[in-house]
Structure 1
Amino acid sequence: MLNLSILLDQAAKRTPAAKAMTFMDTTLSYAQLNGAANQVANGLVNKGIKKGDKVALSCLNVPYFPIIYFGILKAGATVVPLSVLLKEDEIAYHLSDSEAKAYLCFIGTPDLPMAKMGIAGFNQANSCEQFYTITAQPTDPSPFEGHGTLGSLMQGQSPVFESVATSSEDTAVIIYTSGTTGRPKGAELTHINLFSNAVATAELFEYSEKDTNLIVLPLFHIFAMTCMMNSAVYKSVHCVLLPKFDAQAVFGLMQKHKVTVFGGVPTMYWGLVNYAGEEFDYAEIAKNLRKTISGGASLPVQVLEDFKTRFGVDILEGYGMSEGSPVVTFNQEKVGCKPGSIGTPMWGVDVKLVDAEGNEVPQAQKGELIYRGPNVMKGYFNKPEANAETLKDGWLYSGDVAVQDEDGFYFIVDRTKDMIIRGGLNVYPREIEEVMMQHPAVSLVAVIGVPDNERGEEIKAFVVLKPEQTISEEDLREWTKSKIAAYKYPRIISFIAALPMSATGKILKKELR
């Protein structure tokens, strides 16, 4: 038996007074965090949420996220974390596809009206029965008549709760990811998947109660969820939360809280290296900073070297994916590190590079990276065909092409999938193409990723217009932006007469790159 919420239960027992989560001027101890999570669990159970039910969560990096996340787990339910940038149609799809029974959504900000989008999506999802707004203050009323708030869900509930007994193979989290065909798929991650990866990551980062980590990576993203939250809670680390990356804000929190561990995607490190403000004691910040971690996309070696020059700390780079809970390989100081590589396999994980027939390729030759271990997902929720394609004989086929050098280090060199990684967030061309083709002036669209120094990759759309139709690049970009999450719309649009195609009518994207 294993419930992932044991991470918080044990931290609260061992180090009840230790600082757990800090946001702005508020700090919760591990005992307080656990008590609040227990109130959420009691509230959910009293509202009819049962073991195995799915509960969706849209929340910024504020203490409400871990409180609700662990509360859902304690109730024996499955957490379905959603990107805070999703629009109403996308939310409706995720709620319906995951079969979520309840949905907790943060109120949002004027620039990011999350609850407004959330309730609109909820109203389209017939299978989802309960909606709760996470208001800024627990006593704030619901902005939507007939629906509760997180505060009302927790009100009067006991801060004591015995976590529902779950099997290690039960699904703890459904995290949404996608391929190049169709809509996003929900990867079912079990309690043992996430527990084992959190423990292995905590050992890799050498977390201890003396650490303070800064979490600016979004907690709905598997990288932050496992590596920055779960692994930190396992070791009673003090977590400082920041909802949105801003180099000035990051340096301010690093200096104020003597941050020792920082995790980011390449664009964040690029922003830190290029920030030139003189208001901080960078020598003091560098003295406290002992570990920096990067993932989500390949880190340019130049950024890595510039960061080392400025702060005297190596950025440890790794490789993972939602389906791997997420960490598969990492540069590990005890094993060895190589700049530009994705390191060596995590503890308990086997990695192979294979050809199209599934045969292992010789060293220094390109092959698809496949892996097996306790981190491999149970499968995509209700997607048997996708599972048959991705999971074979216990191995997960990543779709990424890599090489292994003579020292056993892996280097990602290409993708078999067309997925774009923009600023560490996955963007799937097919989804954008389908949206843009809904515009009455558009005939055909092909979306690709193009290199970008700041974001890693930028999104470019090649558009064929219908006969006698016209629209400006700016108008089409704004129209698309209104239909999908802000990180997904194409920043670059090129109008062309025709797309290159094969004899069978397949668009040849390689000719567009």
Structure 2
Amino acid sequence: MNEYNLAELLEGSAARYPDRTAIVFGGRRLSYAQVDMAACQIANLLVARGVRPGDKVALSMPNLPYFTMAYYGILKAGATVVPLNVLLKAREVAYHLRDSDARAYVAFEGTPELPIGNTARTAAEGTEVDLYVVDPSLQLPWAGEPPAFDTVATDEDDTAVILYTSGTTGVPKGAELRHRNMRDNALIDEMLFDTSEERPDTYLCVLPLFHSYGQTVFQNAALAFGGTIVMLPRFEPRAALRLMAEERVTIFGGVPTMYWALLAALDESVDVAALAGDLRVALAGGSALPGEVHREFQERFGVTILEGYGLSETSPVASFSVFGQAPRVGSIGVPVPGVEMKLVNDDWSDVKSDTDAIGEIAIKGHNVMKGYYKRPEATAEVLRDGWFRTGDLARRDADGFYWIVDRAKDMIIRGGFNVYPREIEELFMEHPAVSLIAVIGVPHESHGEEIKAVIVTKAGATATEGELVAWGKERLAAYKYPRIVEFADVLPLTSTGKILKRELG
């Protein structure tokens, strides 16, 4: 047995830097000792109420200190954390509780606009799940519990976290991630962008902590290296810029739509030079970053956005830009240390070695999940000999850098030709009137699918459908340009900021 519990990330830093600020939220500063003590109290509460090693404990919490406290408290108890999207409805939460075999459930009370507590109560009705609702205006559920706890010994191959996939295809599935999966993926930050305990970074956490990106790269990595997490429960660009200035943020990470929103929010009231002076690292992932956004951010902030790639099933980071090298705009970089990547065909055979050949990304390494919880058949479809196939199409250049072409499921087949929406989206982002775009396929009688672009225009800009169709026709092959253009004030987004294409049909 190789003993290791992911809770050691917090415990180690709390032992070394008890008085260092771990979390900043709402003007309050919590030290490492305070966060660890609260996690111990939560562990004591759970164990006293019957939670045993290996039990599953669900967690519904926005970006608040309570998320981190509960997350590590559950781990200390030897249990498995099941983070849930806070936007789920009661029926969806109930599904996750049943599917994960949750023994207990910790949920934030929420607000009138987002009544997480009421949703949790409804979802837990008729189940044997012990529900703990956290309401800051009342006594916290763990108040009065002992502030010390002997962390339960677990094996590094035990399941630490079950992360549910978004369910864009079929019902959501729980990816089982080991303690070592999550540990190793957090610790590679030291090699990816030179973070260290000697020079602790300040991370602005706008990515949801219930999602793998925010959880690993901003919570677990920050705490592992004695950094400070500045939490923002809901991304709002002006609030993010204000916190970047006030807290002198050195690391920012987001999805492409967040970078787009930050740039749009810049005006004469924002001291961009001061922000740029503090900002050391900017990270992007979750979906393709438009080249125009990348270039404008670098011009304004003087920082190259480092693009990476990963999935819930890979803890999540699988590839990353090379820190210190000139940017390759649009590339997701190279495999991170300890991880292999390759391109495969539908039958799992390797794609020919010629550069720029397109195939599905497959990943092998310390980051790959055990499998989908209680779903051996679904696991067998995506895992073979340690390789996980992602569903994402890419090409690899002569230097070994990977370039996402598109999601296999997003690819449009028009008249027998494969069309990759990202290529069209990248081109249209160069149009002076286009602020944001999503390209999808819609049914067509003769061609099978037709190409449709849904566009948000820049403030004050005007363009007609005919003008944009003609513009695309001049620049794209006849089978690629959008024949249908629709305008929208906003595009639907997931809770993690990805464009929700399935709602645009």
Q: TM-score, normalised by structure 1?
A: 0.80
Instruction: Say how many residue pairs are matched.
Output: 434
* TM-aligned CA deviation for residue 374 of structure 1: 0.7
SS at match of 1:274: helix
Alignment check: 8 A CA contact 1:38 1:160 kept: yes
Paired with 1:489 and 1:320, the residues of 2 have a C-alpha distance of 18
Match of 1:199 in 2: 187
Superposed, 1:301-340 pairs within 5 Å as: 301-333=291-323, 337-340=327-330
Match of 2:369 in 1: 377
User: Deviations for 1:84-103, whole angstroms, at most 9, x for unmatched residues?
Assistant: 10001100001100000111
* TM-aligned CA deviation for residue 282 of structure 1: 1.5
* TM-aligned CA deviation for residue 385 of structure 1: 0.6
Match of 1:435 in 2: none
Match of 2:171 in 1: 183
Give, as a single letter, the amino acid of the residue that structure 2 aligns with 1:15.
Y
Paired with 1:488 and 1:316, the residues of 2 have a C-alpha distance of 20
1:49 to 35, 48, 51: 51
Distance 1:133 1:419, change over 3 A: farther
* TM-aligned CA deviation for residue 158 of structure 1: 1.3
Q: Percent same amino acid among aligned pairs?
A: 47
1:365 to 323, 332, 357: 357
Alignment check: 8 A CA contact 1:39 1:157 kept: yes
Segments of structure 1 that go 5 or more residues without pairing to the other structure are 140-150, 421-447, 463-480, 495-513
- The alignment status of 1:214 with 2:204, answered yes or no, reads yes
Match of 1:465 in 2: none
Match of 2:144 in 1: 156
Q: CA-atom RMSD, angstroms?
A: 2.6
Superposed, 1:7-156 pairs within 5 Å as: 7-123=9-125, 126=127, 128-139=128-139, 151-152=140-141, 154-156=142-144
Distance 1:43 1:262, change over 3 A: same
Higher mean C-alpha deviation, range 362-371 or range 163-172: 362-371
Alignment check: 8 A CA contact 1:297 1:456 kept: no
Q: TM-score, normalised by structure 2?
A: 0.81
Distance 1:179 1:84, change over 3 A: closer
Paired with 2:311 and 2:84, the residues of 1 have a C-alpha distance of 16
1:288 to 269, 272, 278: 278
Superposed, 1:457-496 pairs within 5 Å as: 457=438
Paired with 1:168 and 1:293, the residues of 2 have a C-alpha distance of 28
Paired with 2:168 and 2:76, the residues of 1 have a C-alpha distance of 35
User: Deviations for 1:316-340, whole angstroms, at most 9, x for unmatched residues?
Assistant: 0011000000000000215764111
Give, as a single letter, the amino acid of the residue that structure 2 aligns with 1:12.
A
- The alignment status of 1:5 with 2:7, answered yes or no, reads yes
Give, as a single letter, the amino acid of the residue that structure 2 aligns with 1:346.
V
Match of 1:407 in 2: 399
User: Deviations for 1:444-490, whole angstroms, at most 9, x for unmatched residues?
Assistant: xxxx999697676489998xxxxxxxxxxxxxxxxxx9xx9999988
Distance 1:227 1:455, change over 3 A: farther
Higher mean C-alpha deviation, range 32-41 or range 360-369: 360-369
Paired with 2:116 and 2:26, the residues of 1 have a C-alpha distance of 21
User: Deviations for 1:130-161, whole angstroms, at most 9, x for unmatched residues?
Assistant: 0111112352xxxxxxxxxxx13x12211111
Give, as a single letter, the amino acid of the residue that structure 2 aligns with 1:99.
D
* TM-aligned CA deviation for residue 274 of structure 1: 1.2
Distance 1:419 1:380, change over 3 A: farther
Alignment check: 8 A CA contact 1:260 1:290 kept: yes
Alignment check: 8 A CA contact 1:193 1:374 kept: yes
Alignment check: 8 A CA contact 1:349 1:375 kept: yes
Alignment check: 8 A CA contact 1:187 1:322 kept: yes
